[in-house]
Structure 1
Amino acid sequence: MTSFNPGLSERSLVTLTVLFYMVTALVMVSVNKWALNTLALPWTLLWMQMVVAVFLLMVTHYTGLLKMPEIVSNTAKALIPLIAINVLGLGVNTLCLVYVDTSFYQIARGLVLPFTVLFAYVLLRQPSSKLVLVSCFTVFCGFYTGVTSEINVSHLGIFFGVISSITTSLHAIVIKKSLGAVNNSTLHLVYYNNVLSLIAVTPLIVLTGESAEISYRLSTDGFAAFHTFLIAGLVTGIFGFLVNLASFLQISKTSPTTHMIAGAVRGVIQTLLGYWAFNDIITTGRLLGIFLILGGGALYTWAKDKEMAAKDVAKPSYIPMTQQDLDGEEDDEEINGDDRKA
């Protein structure tokens, strides 16, 4: 299948991809909070979102708009790490949103950058510069300030937020590694991810006791108790499909760092939406925490840009004239390419 490229430059395509991700993710979080305020059934909500997403993917397949792959067992086995981190990440994200305000959600999940740098060192053997470590410390100070300044903060919500930071950090890395299993097709990876995640989430509704809660509600209050929840589930299912696609597109078109920074900017807008839509209380400590988290993220981005610029300057500037020179240039390009991927 040919890729869609409506005559846009690479920079324009990246910009539109990031904006697409941010808008869909913002709507997703806001409607999720609305649904969970109605009924605290996080795994059921996730299940509904995945059902809608798979249905929409199948509609595009049978109408000829997109071509979905057949589920192959070998490919499915290769994607088990992605499915595990995706289900865990979606679960703790939703559980975190159950226990904290929308505006505090950014702080509760504020340790994404430190964990990203940590996993880059542990899993990819990438050492970090002093400036990167300073940015990580700044982010940690923002998380600590935001958490300790709250009086009635939910410790369980913070716990889920920290686990969410870990899964978010790993998710971008795992997506990059998983693309090879589906011939670098973002669409195929989205389809596999949704179908297999739906299968994995289904038994969790029973294991967490949510199925019993649904039965009790239906027997006592009837369908009326689920009216708002089902509408919210349908809306979040549609936007969940879009944000899933946007997330994969953004990571495949940009980098884990850009994905993280876009998430941070989204967090600021999310804080303002929480204040406006859900009447969240914005304390001074909460604002300072968000400022430090975003400041640390900006410092990290600047530091990485400097490192990339230094590598570009170090590249050889002569024009190779012999076959030996050409071979040497190819070796240099391979080394520099590996450095960029690392």
Structure 2
Amino acid sequence: MEPAREESLLFKYAKITSVVCLYWTVSISLVFVNKTLLGGSSMGERDAPLFVTWFQCVVTTVSCLSLSCFTKVFPHVVTFPEVGSLERTKAKKVLPLTCVFVAMISMNNLSLKYMGVAFYFVGRSLTTVFNVTFTYLILGQVTSMSAILCCAVIIGGFWLGVDQENVAGSLSLLGVSFGFLSAAFVSLNAIYTKRVLPTLDGSIWVLCYYNNVMASVLFLPLIVFNGELYAAYLMVTEGSLHFWGLMVVGGFCGFAMGYVAGLQIQVTSPLTHNISGTAKACAQTVLATWWYAESKAVLWWLSNWVVLGGSLAYTYIKQLEMRATHNAPKPLQSDITGKIEEQMKG
């Protein structure tokens, strides 16, 4: 191999490795920071999960505005779409997605509040199952039997994990319920995102801005109805520098996730991104059991491996199906015209 080509390959692999490590670091940091902020009893009277989620939406909104302004001043350093006031017509079309988005991040943080980080992966593992269900109910797309069998494996791993949490005495029905709802809304969010993106010229960052601006407004009445005003007041008036540092870090990590996820897809592939995300969740589980000094039974670990195997198998099967569809020979125009003429004669 030529030295120049070998150096190019080494640079490529180093870049991919760096991006994957960055994705893992940001994603795992976000989970652990949010768990600290949403830790329930450790927060005392400052127990306001929706307020914490609202603050992260505000940080994301400010980050988008800052990068947009920075792009205008230094266009050769940063490239970010122009954002500012919301267009009324576009906002109306994005609003249904924002409602799903609010439900998704609320359920996500509430599930993390009531369940341990170690069980977080299994507790929210039904996203793939909901993807298959909603794809059929909303889009009318039928899933292959092989993919459905993978979903059955995931469901089996989920129930085994719930059973083992119950045996260990650490099962939170609220946590599992919120995890179940979180998985459903994650799936719905993906479907609605595909529908809404063309409205914003396909810009995921503009969609991120619209979502977080409107979510910041929608969260305000939810905070009131959930009785979090006093807790939010205590956070604002009595929160330490360490606490607010975690709040800001959590907000920036939430914003950065959109960037690093897209970057990982860009330098690898959607399949590799999914595999990386699943492997990251597995590493996160191991790290959490060590960090919180938790001892888990063999069957508990088996549930994680069952979910992991089912998720990877599903990803691989869907990739093969997409490749087969892409490589399938397309009918010639003359063949299509001939079939139309035959139908007209008939």
TM-score tier after normalising by the smaller chain length: 0.7 to 0.9
Which residue, out of 149, 153, 158, partners 1:134? 149
Query: Where do 4+ consecutive residues of structure 1 move more than 3 Å?
Result: 10-23, 214-218, 225-228, 244-263, 308-314, 327-331
Q: Residues of 2 paired with 1:315 and 1:52: CA distance?
A: 48
**SS at 1:95 equivalent:** helix
**1:197 and 2:205 are equivalent in the alignment:** no
**Residue correspondences, number:** 313
Normalization by structure 2: what TM-score?
Answer: 0.79
Q: Which amino acid aligns with 2:61?
A: V
**1:281 and 2:295 are equivalent in the alignment:** yes
Could you say if the C-alpha distance between residues 67 and 114 of structure 1 is closer, same or farther in structure 2, counting changes exceeding 3 Å? closer
**1:74 and 2:92 are equivalent in the alignment:** no
Aligned residue number for residue 3 of structure 2: none
Aligned residue number for residue 335 of structure 1: none
Whether contact under 8 Å (2:271, 2:316) holds in the other structure is no
**1:103 and 2:103 are equivalent in the alignment:** no
**SS at 2:125 equivalent:** coil
Which residue, out of 161, 165, 168, partners 2:183? 165
Task: Give percent identity, aligned residues only.
Answer: 30
Map 1:20-99 onto structure 2 (within 5 A).
20-37=22-39, 38-39=42-43, 40-63=47-70, 64=72, 65=78, 66-69=80-83, 70-99=85-114
Q: Which amino acid aligns with 1:244?
A: G
Cα displacement (A) at 1:84: 1.0
Whether contact under 8 Å (2:271, 2:315) holds in the other structure is yes
Could you say if the C-alpha distance between residues 292 and 42 of structure 1 is closer, same or farther in structure 2, counting changes exceeding 3 Å? same
Cα displacement (A) at 1:160: 0.3
Q: Residues of 1 paired with 2:13 and 2:36: CA distance?
A: 35
Aligned residue number for residue 124 of structure 1: 139
Cα displacement (A) at 1:228: 3.5
Normalization by structure 1: what TM-score?
Answer: 0.80
Aligned residue number for residue 144 of structure 1: 159
Aligned residue number for residue 184 of structure 1: 202
Q: Which amino acid aligns with 2:124?
A: R
Cα displacement (A) at 1:113: 1.1
Cα displacement (A) at 1:132: 0.9
Moved more, 158-167 or 143-152: 143-152
Q: Which amino acid aligns with 2:304?
A: I
Aligned residue number for residue 344 of structure 2: none
Whether contact under 8 Å (1:172, 1:251) holds in the other structure is no
Q: Residues of 1 paired with 2:13 and 2:140: CA distance?
A: 29
CA deviation digits over 1:28-54, x for unaligned, max 9? 111111222342321111122122211
Q: Residues of 2 paired with 1:83 and 1:154: CA distance?
A: 28
Q: Which amino acid aligns with 2:198?
A: G
Whether contact under 8 Å (1:102, 1:274) holds in the other structure is yes
Whether contact under 8 Å (1:93, 1:161) holds in the other structure is yes
Moved more, 270-279 or 308-317: 308-317
CA deviation digits over 1:263-300, x for unaligned, max 9? 42221121022122232333323211111111111221
Structure 2, unaligned stretches of length 5 or more?
1-7, 73-77, 338-346
Cα displacement (A) at 1:171: 1.6
Root-mean-square deviation (CA, aligned residues, Å) is 3.3
**SS at 1:149 equivalent:** helix
Q: Residues of 1 paired with 2:252 and 2:295: CA distance?
A: 30
Q: Residues of 1 paired with 2:240 and 2:325: CA distance?
A: 57
Moved more, 106-115 or 277-286: 277-286
Structure 1, unaligned stretches of length 5 or more?
1-6, 318-324, 332-342
Which residue, out of 191, 212, 215, partners 2:230? 212
Aligned residue number for residue 5 of structure 2: none
